[in-house]
Amino acid sequence: MNRLDANKSTLDNPYGIPVNIFANAAVKVEPVAVEELSTLLDLQNTLAEIQSVDPDFFVGTAGIEQVAITPDFHKGKGIPIGTTLKTKGFIAPQAIGKDVNCGMRLYITDLKADEIRSRLPELKKAIRHIYFYGGREIPITPNQKEALLRNGLIGLLDTWKETENEGLWKFYDAVQQEKDIDRVMDKGSLTTGGIFEGLHNYAKHTHKSYDSQIGSIGGGNHFVEVQQVQNIMDGATAHAWGLKKEAVVIMIHTGSVSVGYPTSTHFIQLLKSIYPKNIRHPENGIYALPFSEKYKANWDSFWMSLYNAANFAFCNRMFLGLMMQRILQEHLGDFNFELLYDSGHNMLWKEEENGVPVFIHRKGACPARGPEQMTQTPFLWTGEPALIPGSMGASSFILAGQGHRESLSSASHGAGRSLSRGDSLKVSDDIFEKFMSEFHIITPIDPNDPQISRRSDILKKWKDEIKKEAPFAFKQVGPVIETQTSAGIARAVAEVKPIFTVKG
């Protein structure tokens, strides 16, 4: 690595690929993650080998054009988390991860934090019932399920009357939802002509049912968090977005959960099967799907599956928001509930440069496009909102993208891990207990339940899962944000602090 300035380094490589790593001196950069990144670049050599033995595999020359690394960069599985990859002539499905369109959604309210804190015991009970104990009440007809997979949020807007006033749909305001669509990346609606065969079991049913997937948070670092605006850093942008100091906001982090996984698993096997038989398979297990006539059917099938899963993720985050709206409204009365933005950070985009298609892969990286890239949205004067959570219990930040070219218009999607999940389990119980005494976390397990408190086996498993995502397992979010603001990737608009977090 060669440090160019206080916030940016480059990575030497034999292929001459521009690789920019954004991390200031206070951000820990793992050698193992740099090694994984270096190995990823060897894909360039693999592409050349394929073209030498099978000239029809790609159309023209295929290659990695540019790589940008965000400061929450850490080791993944073959491709580091925090990587944005620009390619030509091919895509690498593994470069977006298995949780397709994992991303963030943020609502702004006019509630007071003290109102929420004073009602926490009853809110916790309602949250466990609705999020975890069968209280979601989201009936979906076969037509609605097909509509959401094919057309995302617009699909639901077209079919919501089929379940009007049933369960959670009572909180679905079609007029507001139509306005909100402009505040969702790609309008939350990636239209596709069919449903991927790997999702047929999920999609196929003949009657209205209560879906077991939609409205699920998922595991790991996913959450629904009620927060309070702590600081405003950019008053003009905050005003334009409706953010006020001490306002209560709701941040949601999840993706396509189990719906996205079949698509990823299927395509990894497919890519192995079409790989030329007479050359070595890549050591890091990263395979290319060619943009060529020879594999057009596979190409089209992949994009259909990607869009199905991404559409599900947009709808999933929307329903998770409605679930929290219902809980707070039933206990605190009516309040304003307005969407700021929703965007994915595990996703793939088609773009064009000088008339040539290029493909932008983001794995654990928020789009942070500038005003000139947001002309057809409400953010044409401010740039794209980038929602960056800290670790559990720490501050999160709301930024405005500046369309920074060397970062491929990408910001981090969090603070980034500093300890593996395995190593985080070794942290002292005293540190863990101190964290738990200061923070409100709501999970399916209530450790204070008399029936649970006697079960040491259940409590240990519960504690271990929280330890894996506790603050001591992550980098400090401050230097991560400072790197990006100083580098010109995004402007800091507001800092928010958690009131409580819901985790699956």
Residue 190 pLDDT class (50, 70, 90 cuts) = very high
User: Is the pLDDT score of 288 beyond 90?
Assistant: yes
DSSP-assigned letter for residue 489: S
pLDDT of amino acid 447: 79
Looking at the domain assignment, is residue 196 inside a domain?
yes
Tell me what pLDDT residue 212 has: 81
Using the predicted structure, report yes or no on whether residue 462 has a pLDDT greater than 90.
Answer: no
383-414 confidence digits (pLDDT tens): 999 999 987 778 999 999 999 999 999 999 98
434: left (phi over 0), alpha (psi -120 to 50) or beta: alpha
- Residue 186: predicted pLDDT: 96
Per-residue pLDDT, 453: 79
> CATH number for the domain including 298?
3.90.1860.10
Contact (CB, 8 A) for 466 and 441? yes
Rounded average pLDDT over 219-227: 92
Check whether 140 has a pLDDT greater than 90: yes
Backbone angles phi, psi at 383, to 5 degrees: 95, 170
Q: Which two tokens stand for residue 454?
A: 């006697």
- Residue 380 CA to its chain's centroid (Å): 23
Q: Where are the beta strands (DSSP E) in 77-124?
A: 81-88, 90-91, 103-109
Is a pLDDT exceeding 80 seen at residue 32? yes
Q: Classify residue 114: in a domain, yes or no.
A: yes
187 within a domain of the structure (yes/no): yes
189 belongs to a structural domain: yes
Smallest CA-to-CA distance from 187 within 210, 162, 164, 157 is with: 157
Could you tell me where the DSSP H helices lie in 242-295? 257-274
Q: pLDDT-based confidence at 461, cuts 50/70/90?
A: confident
Closest CA to 411 of 6, 62, 23, 14: 23
What number is the average pLDDT over the span 60-65? 93
In tens, the pLDDT along 5-16 reads 999 999 999 999
Is residue 420 predicted with pLDDT exceeding 80?
no
Yes or no: say if 144 and 156 are a contact pair by the CB < 8 Å rule: yes
* Residue 222 placed within a domain: yes
Q: Residue 438: is its pLDDT beyond 80?
A: no
Average pLDDT for 151-175: 97
pLDDT, residue 245, reads 97
Region 443-470 average pLDDT: 82
Range of the domain at 156: 2-418+474-502
What is residue 49's predicted lDDT score, i.e. its pLDDT? Answer: 93
Q: Which residue has the higher pLDDT, 488 or 273?
A: 488
Q: Which helix (H) or strand (E) holds 9?
A: strand 8-10
| C-alpha to C-alpha distances, 193 to 285, 294, 391, nearest whole angstrom | 31, 21, 39
Angle between helix axes 296-332 and 142-159 (nearest 10 degrees) is 70
Given pLDDT bands bounded at 50, 70 and 90, which one contains residue 312? Answer: very high
Q: In the chain, pLDDT over 70 holds for what percent of residues?
A: 100
Inter-CA distances, 420 with 416, 425, 427, 436, Å: 11, 9, 11, 20
Out of 79-83, 131-135, 164-168, 260-264, which region has the weakest mean confidence (pLDDT)?
260-264
Task: Find the range with the poorest average confidence among 244-258, 260-274, 312-326, 418-432.
Answer: 418-432
pLDDT at 120 over 90: yes
Q: What is the pLDDT of residue 141?
A: 95
* 319 is a domain residue: yes
Q: Of all residues in the chain, what percent carry a pLDDT higher than 90?
A: 74
| Size of the chain, expressed as the number of residues it contains | 504
Task: Name the token pair of 499.
Answer: 């009131």
User: Looking at the 3D structure of the chain, how many domains does it have?
Assistant: 1
In a domain, 431, yes or no: no
pLDDT at 202: 84
pLDDT at 131 over 90: yes
**What average pLDDT does range 19-42 have in this prediction?**
95
pLDDT of 50 strictly over 90: yes
Higher-confidence residue: 459 or 244? Answer: 244
Q: What pLDDT sits at residue 220?
A: 82
pLDDT band at residue 165 under the 50/70/90 scheme = very high
Model-level pTM? 0.94
Mean pLDDT across the chain: 92
Whether 143 is in a domain gets the answer yes
The mean per-residue pLDDT over the stretch 276-286 comes to 87
- Reported confidence tier of residue 197, pLDDT bands at 50, 70, 90: confident
Q: What is the pLDDT of residues 367-383, one digit of tens each?
A: 999 999 999 999 999 99
Asked if pLDDT for residue 33 goes beyond 90, the answer is yes
What integer pLDDT is reported at residue 172 of this predicted model? 97
Tell me the sheet residues that pair with 251: 106, 225
The reported pLDDT for the residue numbered 263 is: 80
Q: Confidence band (pLDDT; 50, 70, 90) for 80?
A: very high
Average pLDDT on 147-171 reads 97
Q: What is the pLDDT of residue 427?
A: 78
| Averaged pLDDT for residues 423-429 | 79
